[in-house]
Every structure is written in structure tokens, then in C-alpha cells.
Amino acid sequence: MLRKFTRESLKDSSLSTKDRDRCKNMFVLGFVYWMYNRSLSSSIEFLNLKFKSKPEILEANVTVLKAGYHFADTSEIFSNRYEVKPAKMSKGLYRNIIGNQAIALGLIAASKKSKLDLFYGGYPITPASDILHELAKYKNFGIKTFQAEDEIAGICASIGASFGGDLAVTASSGPGIALKGEALGLAMMLEIPLVIINVQRGGPSTGLPTKTEQADLFQAVYGRNGEAPIPVIAASSPSDCFTMAYEACRIAIEHMTPIFLLSDGYIANGAEPWRFPRSKDLVDINVRFQKERKEDDLVYMPYKRDEKLVRSWAIPGTKGLEHRIGGLEKHQETGNVSYDPENHHQMVKIRAAKVDKIADYIPLQELESGSENSKLIVVGWGSTFGAIKTAVRDLATEGVDVAHTQIKYIQPMPKNLGKILSNYDKILVPEMNNGQLIKLIRDLYLVDAKPLNKIKGMPFEAQEIKSAILNMLNF
């Protein structure tokens, strides 16, 4: 039917039948313009620019575009029209941003703010590859990108870059992160800055490469041998990918630790308007390279710690700061290899306490909507944000009072999260997995949270969350 209408609209055109049929999408676009009560002018302007040297193709596309509009306007079959009003947005300069693109820009911003060269070592994998592609465009900013022969080489090169004083980053998705697991333990043992980005996809194994999922949370929190705690944060929208990528760099550098940034295929390839931040509005990233040996040390003590339990960052070749690195257990100050049982016990506790102490340097948890007097709170993380926000907003217009909070800092969690959760009779945790964040919350806060799991390779719809809320409230 669509091809028939298109050909009828172009019956007087000199184009071939094949070229006429290529215009059929313009018929649908014209129909959509009518449905949403919008002017055709922007598309006509675009077509004029695109086909200014091909007048026959230009005329054909514009003709079919108008035909689709007028068909909808004169047909008795269609009567409903909609008008989407402009969103209320803060003043500023905006651009469209895609999640992976935003991550790349966040990393670049952190590199410039910290005055550190950015090194990215990675291996192509869906849906994380675009981060490498995007960063490779910015060599003018001193960005170094290395497409390694495999996932292991990618992270090991990044560890070497970090040891040498660069802001080091690697990225992958579930099966690629599994391959990086041993090197992640090494980075944790060395206590050097390293940002690991996991753009999650459907699993397990190679799973569903082009489908979205949130099933790598346990992998990020626990997926290493031994006691190997690494901080974990998560982005909640395409534009938030910029903010959280920048934050991952800040935490990694200021706390001398590898850190996971979790995204997923939905927000990695999703897009939204993004207001340009100004450099002066970005928080400072404090880099502290040790330049010389402290006066009271006869030799350099690489694992001596400050009030954050953070060790110093010494660049190889700095006179007097020679030290040994490796994956074997360290003496808690000298860094020498130690098999002493008490020392190992102490180092395990210290490394865990260092990660826990990051909670003192991250924002407190806030409510996205609702109040402490609501009977139910929806707790989300990652890309569930949009669906939860829409569901809770729609319920509010219907007189149903529901609170919503979105957790971005997962390990450690904000210090006040337990207090917030204790205010509510009912807690709902929607996740695109079989229940992972909910287990962390139950373990930490001993609350009777209820799961809402979707494991179909597709994001939540607001109606699904809305129905689950109403069921819990017995509506």
C-alpha cells in the first residue's frame, strides 16, 4: 500500500521505479508530521541542502513528503492528532548526545581538568566499541588510543600507562570484562588509578551482543579472585554518562584505585539533549604525584597512606622513589613481597576500608521525586531511570504518592541510603537482571525489598513499573 501511494504521487516523475520507491519513507514522515501537528519546513530545508545538486531527487522527496501529509489530513480513517509541547529545560547551550559519545567526552574533560594525558587501551566489542572510535577523533587533545590484540592486552597496556602517570582507561562488555578479571586484581593490588567501563549487554557468555541488560553488577562488585574490592558507579542516562565518566576519573585518581563505571546498551546508544558544562563548573581533580622521599623515611615507602588510606603516586624514574610492584601480597608500608599472615590480614582489611572510605567523598543520596511520607519507594540504578521517573510522575498525577531514588554510587553506597530506605513500608527494585542490586541492598540494610525483574534484552516500559507499584499498593 505504501509503495502504491508513493508511485501514484510520482507518476509524472522521470525517475526510475527503483528510485521512486526509495522515496516511500518520506510518505510516512509526512504522515507523522500531520499526526503531531508539526510544520514540514525543517525537513524540506534539510532535503534542499542534501539534494541541491540533484533537483529531480529533491522534487520527488518533497512531493512524497507533502503527499503523506495531505493523505493523513484528508483521510477519514485518521482523526487523532497530538501536540508535544517543548520540554522545560534550563537555559544554556545544548547539543544532542549519545551515551558512548558522552563517556568519551567525560574522559577527555577529566584529562584536561587533571592535566594528565589520557590513555585508552581496549579491544572492539559491542556495544562498547564506539568509545574507542570517539576518543580516536581527539588526538589534537593528546588522547592516546590503543586497539590491542585482545582484551587482556588492552587492560594490561592501560595498567602500564597508569603506572607511568597517565589517566588510564579501558572498556568492554561482559565477556570482555571476564577476560580482564586477572588484570583487574593486579590493578587493585597495585592501587593505581584505572577506569574500567562496562557497557553491559545480554549474557551470559557471548549472549545477546546487540541487546541490553544490567546483569554484570555482581561481576563488577565481586568478579575477581580473593578479597579484591573495587568501587562501582553507574550512569543513568545518555547525558549522565558524561558526568559519571568524569566522576569515575576523579575517584580513581584521588583515591588511587581502579573503578568500574557501568553503562548498558540502552543508554550507550540512546540520545538526549545535553547542556554543555563549562570547565569552571566541573569539580577539580586533585592529582598528587610524589616528587621526593619524605624526610623521616630512609627508603621510599610506597604503601604508606594518608587520611583517606590512599598511597602515593610515584612516577617511575623519579629519583629516590624506586619501588617494586607486582601481584604478590605487599608489606603494608615497604611494598616488599610478604607472606606474613598478620600482614596479609591487615592489607585485606586496609584495602576494603579504603574503598569504604570513598563514601565520605561522594554525594549523599537524594530523592528524585516523592517524599519521606510516601508508603512506597522505587529504587533504581542505571538505565531504569527514565522508565521509573515516568511511571512515578504519571502516578503522581493520578494522586498516588510514590517516592523514587536512583543509586549511582553502588560500591560504596551513599552514607545516608540506609536511613532513606528505613522511612518506607514498601521498597520496589526494578532491574534488567534476575535480582542483583536488591541482594546488595538486602545484605547491607536488612530491608524487605521486592524485586521487579526483566531479562528479555529490552528496557523497561513505564507501564510495567507502574503496574508493579499499583500491585504492591493493592490498588
Per-residue pLDDT at 108 exceeds 80:
yes
- Residue 34 makes CB contacts below 8 A (sequence gap 6+) with 68, 69, 72, 73, 78, 81
Q: Which three cell numbers stand for residue 218?
A: 555482581
- From its phi and psi, is residue 317 left (phi > 0), alpha (psi between -120 and 50) or beta? left
Residue 449 above 90 pLDDT? yes
Give the β-pairing of 144-147 and 194-200. Answer: unpaired
Q: How far apart are CA 124 and CA 145, in angstroms?
A: 12
pLDDT bracket for residue 163 (50, 70, 90): very high
Residue 88: half-sphere exposure toward Cβ, Cα within 13 Å: 0
**pLDDT of the residue at 115:** 96
- How confident is the model at residue 213, as a pLDDT? 98
Give dist(CA 362, CA 107) in Å, integer. 19
SS3 182: helix
- The pLDDT assigned to 195 comes to 98
Give the per-residue pLDDT at 66: 95
105, 276 in Cβ contact below 8 A?
no
Range in 27-36, 72-81, 182-191, 384-393 with the lowest mean pLDDT: 72-81
- Lookup: cell for 456: 528479555
Q: Are 14 and 55 in contact (CB under 8 A)?
A: no
pLDDT band for position 60 (50/70/90)? very high
Helix (H, G, I), strand (E, B) or coil at 195: strand
In the prediction, which pLDDT does 130 show?
Answer: 97
Strand partners, 144: 119
Q: What is the pLDDT of residue 267?
A: 97
pLDDT of the residue at 298: 82
Confidence of residue 412 (pLDDT cuts 50, 70, 90): very high
**What residues does each domain of the chain span?**
2-74, 94-281, 376-472
Query: H or E segment at 152?
Result: helix 151-163
CB atoms within 10 A of CB 433: 20
The single-letter code of the amino acid at 227 is: E
Residue 398: count other Cβ atoms within 10 Å of its Cβ. 9
CA pair distance 246, 249, nearest whole angstrom: 5
Q: Which three cell numbers stand for residue 118?
A: 589520557
| Whether residue 475 has pLDDT greater than 80 | no
For 91, phi and psi rounded to 5 degrees?
-65, 145
**Grid cell digits, residue 91:** 537555559
Spatial distance between the Cα atoms of 434 and 415, rounded to a whole number of angstroms:
26
At a CB cut-off of 8 Å and minimum separation 6, what does 101 contact?
130, 134
Q: List pLDDT tens digits, range 184-203.
A: 999 999 999 999 999 999 99
What is the pairing mode between strands 426-431 and 376-381? Answer: parallel
Cα atoms in the 13 Å half-sphere on the side-chain side of 163: 20
Beta-bridge partner residues of 418: none
What dotted CATH number matches 376-472?
3.40.50.920
pLDDT, one tens digit per residue, over 12-54 is 888 899 989 999 999 999 999 999 999 999 999 999 999 999 9
86 has a pLDDT exceeding 90: no
Count CA atoms closer than 13 A to 23's CA, side-chain side.
Answer: 31
pLDDT value of residue 90: 85
Torsion of CA 41, 44, 50, 52, to 10 degrees: -110
Q: Does domain 94-281 have CATH number 1.10.486.10?
A: no
Q: State the pLDDT at residue 87.
A: 79
pTM, rounded to two decimals: 0.89
SS3 440: helix
* Lowest pLDDT segment from 68-82, 329-343, 440-454: 68-82
Tens-digit pLDDT profile for residues 255-308: 999 999 999 999 999 999 999 899 999 999 999 999 888 777 788 999 999 999
Give the mean model confidence (pLDDT) for residues 117-133.
97
Q: Is the pLDDT of residue 1 over 80?
A: no
Q: Can you tell me the distance from the alpha carbon of 442 to that of 458, in angstroms, rounded to the nearest whole number?
A: 26
Residues 62 and 342: their CA atoms lie apart, in Å, by 78
Cell of 364: 549523599
pLDDT for the residue 345: 98
Q: Do the domains spanning 94-281 and 376-472 agree at the CATH topology level?
A: yes
Alpha helices in 22-136 (DSSP H): 24-35, 41-50, 55-74, 99-114, 129-135
Q: Which residues pair with 167 in a beta bridge?
A: 118
- Average pLDDT, stretch 423-433? 97
Count CB atoms within 10 A of the CB of residue 5.
17
Please state whether beta strands 409-411 and 232-234 pair in parallel, antiparallel, or not at all (unpaired).
antiparallel
Cα atoms in the Cβ-side hemisphere of radius 13 Å centred on 17: 2
- SS3 assignment, position 389: helix
Percent above pLDDT 90 for the chain = 88
- Cβ distance 52 to 45 under 8 Å? no
The pLDDT of residue 294: 79
Q: Which residues of 235-257 are buried (b: 16+ CB within 10 A; e: fewer)?
A: bbbbbbbbbbbbbbbbbbbbbbb
Task: Give the model's pLDDT for residue 296.
Answer: 76
